[in-house]
Amino acid sequence: MSPLNDSLIEQTAIVPQEYELSVESVHKQIQKIQQAMKSFMKKDEHYGIIPGTHKPTLYKAGAEKLAFMFKFAPTYEINRSELKEGHREYEITCHLLHQVTGRLLSDGVGSCSTLESKYRYRQAKMRCPMCSKEGSIIKGKLEFGGGWVCYRQKGGCNAKFAITDTVITLQPKGKIENPDIADSYNTVLKMAKKRAQIDATLSACAASDIFGQDLEDTDVETTIQNAKDLQSAEDKIKYSLSRVELENVYKNLSSALRSGLQKQYQAKTNSFGTPPIASAPTASLPAPVASKVSHDIDICKASIEKAITQDELVKVFSAFPLQIKDQVREEFVKKAQSFKGE
Ligand SMILES: [Zn+2]
């Protein structure tokens, strides 16, 4: 079979093409990657698991670790296309050579363009006509006179504008074309390079069945960010008090994360009768949460008193924070029964 001895396999791992790999050495290589994942590759740093998928996704840092371990030497071929309106696309081919033998192990391709929506668009932020600060304009609270305010805590100048003032209301809103597209050239170049490098690494290691290859629209940074967002969203859900708060957490999640959290979210929001966190006694909640709960209970009790019809009562009750529903159930039942008797 293979004329290579074990030590040479150990040393080079990926053997020159005139020698075929034995089943054993292929197995060894897979084991080596798996060992690397266990010992020095960290989840969310070198690879990640995207909600809704079961295969880990290889990140740039992970591709670099594998390249180091298997002695890959990458070279890149860059192809740049100028597109209309200052847009640009990079197509990159990554050639992976073996450092010791100099042989070509694999080619990987990756492209990226400023027309991808995350570079093409940005979220328009309102600009203060007085101090030119961007993103400091907020809707003033009614009890402080309403209107628009250039908010000091967002670095604003405290200027106030009427709610109908067109210097504010006519400013573009939502998704707008990024006016500084040239600022993204470097990012897009790096992204294309990264995609090519990961593609080449996966084929050189024959590791596509260990790592999922395609992130489709999700790039590496987004994936890492998603993992962090998911953690913080889970924390928020754990301590969120009201249905409204839960809904806000949920709304702010990207669709990829939403699918991962959907079950958890539904379990909490659909559990009108027995909300899972309702059973936790107030005392076991963190102190600030507990005091908010008891404050909210008072408000809820008051609105139960004010409810006139049964429908109103149900509506009031439905709007209650989840934990509180359980605690005010007695009042609710009593009141509902008294309506029944009328
Ligand atoms: Zn201002």
pTM of the model: 0.53
Cα(151) to ligand 1 centroid in Å equals 7
Q: Distance from the CA of 184 to the center of ligand 1, in angstroms?
A: 28
Three-class DSSP labels, the chain: CCCCCHHHHHHHCCCCCCCCCCHHHHHHHHHHHHHHHHHCCCECCCEECCCCCCCCEECHHHHHHHHHHHCEEEEEEEEEEECHHHCEEEEEEEEEEECCCCCEEEEEEEEEECCCHHHHEEECCCECCCCCCECCEEECCHHHCCCEEECHHHCCCCCEECCCCHHHHCCCCCEEECCCHHHHHHHHHHHHHHHHHHHHHHHHCCCCCCCECCCCCCCHHHHHHHHHHHHHHHHHHHHCCCHHHHHHHHHCCCHHHHHHHHHHHHHHHCCCCCCCCCCCCHHHCCHHHHHHHHHHHHHHHHHHHHCCCHHHHHHHHHCCCHHHHHHCHHHHHHHHHHHHHC
39 Cα: distance to centroid of ligand 1 (angstroms): 53
What are the pLDDT tens digits along the chain (342 aa)?
444 444 444 445 555 555 566 777 777 888 888 888 888 888 888 887 765 566 788 888 888 998 898 899 999 999 999 999 999 999 999 999 999 888 898 999 999 999 988 888 888 888 999 999 988 999 888 877 889 999 998 899 999 999 889 889 888 877 888 888 999 999 999 999 999 998 898 888 877 777 765 544 345 555 555 556 555 655 555 554 455 555 555 555 545 444 444 454 444 444 333 333 333 333 344 455 555 555 666 666 666 666 555 566 566 656 655 555 555 556 655 655 555 433
Q: Domain boundaries in the chain?
A: 3-117+180-215, 127-170
CATH architecture of 3-117+180-215: 2-Layer Sandwich (3.30)
CA of 132 to the centre of ligand 1 (A): 6
Q: How many whole angstroms from 317 Cα to the centroid of ligand 1?
A: 42
Ligand 1 center from residue 133 Cα (angstroms): 6
Distance 134 CA to ligand 1 centre (A): 8
From the CA of 157, how far away is ligand 1's center (Å)? 4
| Cα(154) to centroid(ligand 1), Å | 10
Q: Compute the distance from residue 128 Cα to the ligand 1 centre, in Å.
A: 5
**168 Cα–ligand 1 center, Å:** 11
